[in-house]
A = this chain, B = another copy of it.
Amino acid sequence: MNLPPLVQAFVLHFGEMGSRWGINRTVGQIYALLYVSPEPLCADQIVEALGISRSNVSMSLRELQGWDLVVLKHLPDDRRDFFTTPDDVWQILRTLAEERKKREIDPTLSVLREILMQQPGNENERFAQQRMAEMHGLIERLTNWYDDVKRLETDRLATLLSLGSKVTKLLETKDKIVSIGRKKPRSGET
């Protein structure tokens, strides 16, 4: 591996974390390298920089493309593929969230739905189904929230993030204002 020390530290870290993130070391390293490279890189430059086999680079790039984490560029009069990551980190975040949901959540949601359709055969199965229903309910709430929020433009999303828990206070304020507008409703109403 032949990289500026600062970049190397970053690349190695992404390699190590790879396994915890459900991608493999090489994929992590390649992603990190592309992320911090000022120019798009072609496969051979990656081979050179990371000191891994050509075929490994090829497969890993394919994997990254599958995740939509990598963008293909072409230079004029050069038929090699060059790769970068998208510039906008918010866009990267969205992609990552979408892909992880697809791989890590959706299959479970659909298995749960399937199992919940079945008739329980005995008391234990009935209990198990009850638990699965709770899990299903929670996951559905979370994914509904996500599906809603992901449509926001970036600056709105940023606003929502900075607000954080203050949102609930805001909500109370609004309720108060609205209720004043409605002319003194009796307290203790829903």
A131 contacts chain B at the CB level, 8 A cutoff: yes
Q: A6-B115, A6-B120, A6-B129 are in contact. Are A168 and B160 (CB under 8 A)?
A: yes
| A182 interface contact, C-beta 8 A | no
Residues on B with beta carbons closer than 8 Å to the beta carbon of A125? 4, 6-7
Q: Which residue of the partner chain, among B121, B148, B173, contacts A165 with CB atoms under 8 Å?
A: B148
Question: Does B17 lie within 8 Å of A132, measured CB to CB?
Answer: no
A75 close to chain B: CB less than 8 A: no
The prevalent SS among residues of A at the interface is: helix
**B residues near A38, Cβ cutoff 8 Å:** 123-124, 127
Inter-subunit contact A161/B174 (CB<8 Å): no
Candidates B6, B89, B124, B137; contact of A134 at CB < 8 Å:
B89
CA distance A149 to B156 in the complex (A): 17
Q: Interface size for chain A: under 10, 10 to 19, 20 to 34, or 35 or more residues?
A: 35 or more
In the complex, the answer to whether B131 meets A36 with C-beta atoms within 8 Å is: yes
**Is A35 at the interface (CB under 8 A from chain B)?**
yes
B-side contacts of A144, CB under 8 Å = 161, 164
A144–B112 alpha-carbon span in the complex (Å): 32
A51 within 8 A of B: no
Name A's B-contacting residues (CB within 8 A). 4-7, 9-10, 13, 17, 19-22, 35-38, 89-90, 93, 103-104, 107-108, 111-112, 114-115, 118, 120-125, 127-129, 131-132, 134-135, 137-138, 141-142, 144-145, 148-149, 151-152, 156, 158-168, 170-171, 173-174, 177
Q: A10-B132, A170-B170, A177-B177 are in contact. List 19 more A-B contacts (CB 8 A).
A: A6-B118, A6-B120, A6-B125, A13-B111, A17-B107, A20-B103, A20-B104, A35-B135, A36-B127, A38-B123, A141-B162, A142-B161, A144-B161, A148-B166, A149-B164, A149-B165, A152-B165, A159-B171, A167-B170
